[in-house]
Amino acid sequence: MRHLARSGPWIAFLIWFTAAVAGLSLTIATWGINARPFTDPAVANVRDIALCSVFAVVGLVLTAKRPWNVVGWLLLGVALSLALNVLFVRYAIYGLLAHPGSLPGATVTAALGSSAWVILISSLALLFLTFPHGRLPSPRWWVAVWALLVIDASAWVGNTLVPGPLTRPLNAYDNPIGIGALRSLRSALSYPGFLIVVIFAASAVSLVQRFRHARGEERQQYKWFTFAAALFPVAMVVVQVLDAVFGQASTADTIGSTITGIVATAIPIATAIAVLRYRLYEIDRIVSRTVVYAVLTVVLGGVYVGLVIASEAVFAPVAGGSSVAVALSTLAVAMLVLPVRARVQRLVDQRFYRTKVNSEEMLARFGARLQRESDLDTLLGELDRVVHEALQPAVVSVWLRNDPETVAE
């Protein structure tokens, strides 16, 4: 058992690495084929390979250091599902569209590739449930785990073993592994798939509840994970805005894929920091800076657009162009960066880090008291009170240096 714990992570990583390299090679070989809606463009497949690389490396590190914690194994499961999805899809595209007949079993891989998403969503749901200690929140959640396994099996059978045409654009080919007896059960087998999303949402709610009740070091662990998970829906909103502005242009697709890929890598990285407990308490600074610069970007971006529009209305008849408006708007925004950032930082600290603001105010009052008070005992008592209120230590000790020369004078 101990030998399996040592070699198991490397075996899983080797399987992922083989699938990822093969999938990337086939993606490059079929780069010019845009096979939507059967799959995303090739650039999205490259993004998936890069993303699953982060999941795989982090999963390997966690399983090597914490082999009995299932969190690392679930990260490896996410990486493997992404790699297999790219491999199966691009294998089918190469063997059926790019070079028909060149690869054996291309229709079989097309059928198998339609269900790779099941492993991905299920692994993420279980990751939310077992973070950070690798255990379920309570024994009652075993009902959800077994239900998830049954739903996964049903969705896999409904997407893989039901006979009929393959997904477009491969609908000219029939499913070679379809079972005729399952034809009448197509709807019944595929319908429970939406329950995976329900369980996924329930696991996310459970994560938030555990975060709210956590204290101390465990709360910092949840902060890392929930912060990383919260970035993903924000990125999806940004991608939707880009699609609305630019339409379905290739540039918008590329930018959207890049944004979601970069943001998604935050989940495994935050998981590793939380589980290994490395620099946990820096999350407060990261959250603060992220909120500040996000608000700053939105505010200054809105100000810039408004100034450009207003300046063009004023200077266009005089200057005969928009260069003056752009130059003045850029100068105005550059002058606003520092004062607006300071104001936003104060508002964020007052809203989310009230303890920090109170501590700074107490230290400022103590500094002013030092300038007026000369009695040593009074100052020591005030110092003890301020330190306890600001830092809440278990013990406070003060060491006074006894200078013989000063005493002699």
**Has residue 117 been placed in a domain?**
yes
Could you give phi then psi for residue 403, rounded to 5 degrees?
-90, 110
CA distance 34 to 43: 10
**Has residue 144 been placed in a domain?**
yes
Question: Is residue 113 domain-shared with residue 174, that is, in the same domain?
Answer: yes
Q: Cα angle at 131 between 127 and 136, to 5 degrees?
A: 85
Cβ atoms < 10 Å from Cβ of 327? 13
C-alpha separations of 279 from 227, 241, 273, 353 in Å: 15, 35, 7, 19
**Has residue 284 been placed in a domain?**
no
Beta strands in 238-301 (DSSP E): none
Question: Is residue 258 domain-shared with residue 344, that is, in the same domain?
Answer: no
- What tokens appear for 33 in the block? 């084929």
pLDDT at 37 (0 to 100): 45
Task: Name the nearest CA neighbour of 183 among 161, 166, 199.
Answer: 161
Last residue of a domain, one of 226, 252, 278: 278
**Has residue 369 been placed in a domain?**
yes
**Has residue 286 been placed in a domain?**
no
pLDDT at 370 (0 to 100): 67
- The pTM for the full model equals 0.70
pLDDT at 163 (0 to 100): 77
For residues 165 and 171, is the Cβ–Cβ distance under 8 A? yes
CA distance 349 to 365: 19
pLDDT at 14 (0 to 100): 92
Question: Is residue 395 domain-shared with residue 298, that is, in the same domain?
Answer: no
Question: Is residue 229 domain-shared with residue 361, that is, in the same domain?
Answer: no
CA distance 127 to 215: 20
Please list the pLDDT of the chain residue by residue as tens digits (409 residues): 566 567 878 888 899 999 999 999 988 888 877 655 444 567 778 888 888 899 999 999 988 888 888 898 999 988 988 898 889 888 888 888 888 888 888 888 888 877 777 777 788 888 888 888 888 888 888 988 888 888 878 777 777 777 777 776 677 777 788 777 676 666 666 666 677 778 888 888 888 888 888 888 888 888 888 888 888 777 777 777 766 666 655 565 667 667 777 888 888 988 888 888 777 666 667 666 776 767 777 777 777 777 767 766 665 565 555 566 666 667 776 777 677 777 777 776 666 555 555 566 666 666 766 666 666 667 677 777 767 666 666 677 777 766 555 444 4
**Has residue 6 been placed in a domain?**
yes
Question: Is residue 226 domain-shared with residue 267, that is, in the same domain?
Answer: yes
Tokens 């880009």 belong to residue: 242
Partners of residue 174 on adjacent β-strands: 165
Last residue of a domain, one of 331, 352, 373: 352
Total domain count, the chain: 3
User: Which CATH number belongs to the domain containing residue 259 in this structure?
Assistant: 1.20.1070
pLDDT at 408 (0 to 100): 42
- What tokens appear for 99 in the block? 């070079």
Question: Is residue 347 domain-shared with residue 361, that is, in the same domain?
Answer: no
Question: Is residue 191 domain-shared with residue 304, that is, in the same domain?
Answer: no
Question: Is residue 385 domain-shared with residue 403, that is, in the same domain?
Answer: yes
- What tokens appear for 96 in the block? 């059926």
CA distance 227 to 232: 9
Q: At what angle do helices 323-352 and 354-372 cross, to 10 degrees?
A: 80
DSSP secondary structure, 49-89, as one string: HHHHHHHHHHHHHHHHH-TT-HHHHHHHHHHHHHHHHHHHH
**Has residue 283 been placed in a domain?**
no
Could you give phi then psi for residue 165, rounded to 5 degrees?
-65, 150
Task: Name the nearest CA neighbour of 56 among 229, 207, 221, 269.
Answer: 269
pLDDT at 22 (0 to 100): 92
Range of the structural domain that residue 333 is part of? 292-352
pLDDT at 242 (0 to 100): 67
- What tokens appear for 3 in the block? 């030998």
